[in-house]
Structure formats: structure tokens, C-alpha cells
A and B are shown apart, each in its own frame.
Chain A
Amino acid sequence: MEKILNSYLEKIDRYLKPLPVSERVDIVKEIKSEILELQRNGKSTEEIMERLGNPKELAKAYLGDLIAKDTSFSWNRVLAICAYYSLASLSGLVIIPTLAICAPAFIFCGVITPIMGAAKLIDFLLNLGIPYVQYIGVSGINNPILVFIICIITGIVLCLIGIGCWKLLVLYVKSMSKVKNKLSI
């Protein structure tokens, strides 16, 4: 009994192939919910099958809009798609790699800078004489405490820029895919 119903749902899923996965999952889940509802009301598998009808027909009903949309050829749509891909590839060529490199680089520097500042401060306070620490510094400032404070501020600013780059990247990708969905390519 369960087997028949499951294979019914699988068939629906297969016929819904042209739709995005998320939509497909949702549709199948909703039909499954109704099947469970009918079972709870004491309906037999045969009755449920008869009520829902041929899986192909049911799936087709969902695809109805999509098919109608695709067959109606329109120059505006073609132009919109061309414009979308031109813009997406051109901007993607520059924006994605730039942001993808900048985001981790800024965050990395943002973390390293205060650590360096702290190293110099500790070295100065405890008189450790750690090698190469003398190369750490902010030009024109000799006081290690001041260097440390500047390092902290710089670190925070760098981190914020890095996070900003990352957010921009996510925003860019999201908005691009949103437009893509709207064009239903």
C-alpha cells in the first residue's frame, strides 16, 4: 500500500523535472500531506489514487503555466535574457574575483595586525627581545603602546572592510540569481 503511494509521489517528482528542485520538493510534500490526510480519514489506497488521478496529468497541471510561458516566443524575453547574461558575465568577471580575494585578505590582515601590535607591546613591556620584532611598527611613531592601539583600530577597520566585501559578494550573487529566477531561465 505504502509502496504504491510512494511510487506515485516519485512519478510526480519525475514529471515535474522542468521545475527547480525546491519547488518540486514543496509540491510533492503538499501532495503527500493530502495523501496522509486522506488516509487518516480512512480512505483506501485505491480511493486515494482515483481521487488524485493520473500522476502525469497532475504534474502537467503544475507545469501548465511554465509550458505556456516557454512556447510564447517574445523578443523582449530574448533581449532580457541576452542583457542579463551580458551584464552577469561582464560584472561577474570583475566583481566576483575581486570581492572573493579582498574579503579573506582584509579579514586576514585585520586579524594579523593587532597580533603584531600585541607582540611588539609584550616585547617592549617584558623586554623579551624577540627577534625581528623591531621591524614591526607604524612609521613615525615610536611608542609601542600607541603602536598597539593604532594596530587594534587598523585591525578592526580591516576586518570591517573584509566583512563588508563578503557581504557585498553574497548580496551580488543573491541578487543575480533572483533576477535569473524572475526571467525563469
Chain B
Amino acid sequence: MNIDDWKSQIKRGTLEFCIMLMIKQRPSYGYEIISTLENYPILAAKENTIYPLLRRLLKEEYISSSWQESAEGLPPRKYYSVTDKGLEYISAMSDEWDNLLNSIKEIKGEK
């Protein structure tokens, strides 16, 4: 049984949704996002996945970014926040997600 392959496919599809949800909660910077994801093994991803993904979301204007030269010895951080277009994207993804969960429930025979 190779569950890892399947897990990585699930991750590929849901990481974007999770990152968008995280940024929606409050503006976050890259390292913060990566560290938070580390708490959830099924979602944990490395820099070489997250940063390019953030870049793509930026290019598609679902999120915007701004550098904050934080004071007192803290390094400058690039904060990401959700745009209006991003909010629409999130709500569309949420709908589809619920859709998927409901379908699974139904197929399982729980409904």
C-alpha cells in the first residue's frame, strides 16, 4: 500500500486553498506560513514549494505583497494579504470543497 503518493496528490490540490485561507485570517510572511504548515504533516511543504506557489498567487492577483522593514533587530518581512479577487477565489474554492466532502459522504452512504 502506498499511501504517500496519494497524500502528496491531495497536498498538491489543497495547499493553495490552505495558504489562501491562512493569509485571509491575517496577513502573513513566507516563513510564518511555512512554519504553520509544519504543524500539519499532511500539509507540510518546503520553501521550494511554498515560495513559487506564493509567487504564482501574486501573479494571478489573488494576493498582494508588501515589504515591512520591521523594527528592532527583526529582519524585513514580506507580508502577503488577500485581494478582492482572492476573496472570490477562496469562496469558490470553499464551495467546491464542501461539494467534494458532501459527495464523499454520499458515496460512503452516510447521507
Which A residues form the contact surface with B (CB < 8 A)?
26-27, 29-34, 36-38, 40, 51-53, 57-58, 60-62, 64-65
Contacts and interface: CB of A to CB of B under 8 A. Distances in A.
Contact of A34 (B31, B56, B73): B31
Instruction: Tell me the interface secondary structure of chain A in the complex.
Output: helix
B48 A53 contact: yes
A33 B48 contact: no
Contacts of B51: 27, 30-31, 61-62
A62 B75 contact: no
A30 B75 contact: no
Contacts of A53: 46-48
Interface of B: 29-31, 34, 46-49, 51-52, 55-56, 67, 73-78
A110 B105 CA distance: 76
Contact of A33 (B29, B46, B55): B29
Nearest to B34: A34
Contacts of B73: 40
A40 B75 contact: yes
A57 B31 CA distance: 18
Contacts of A64: 52
B47 A52 contact: yes
A184 to B, nearest CB: 10
Nearest to A34: B31
A69 B51 CA distance: 18
Contact of B78 (A30, A40, A60): A30
A80 to B, nearest CB: 18
Given A31-B47, A37-B31, A52-B47, A61 B75 contact: no
A33 B31 contact: yes
B48 A34 contact: no
A33 B78 contact: yes
Nearest to A59: B48
Contacts of B52: 61-62, 64-65
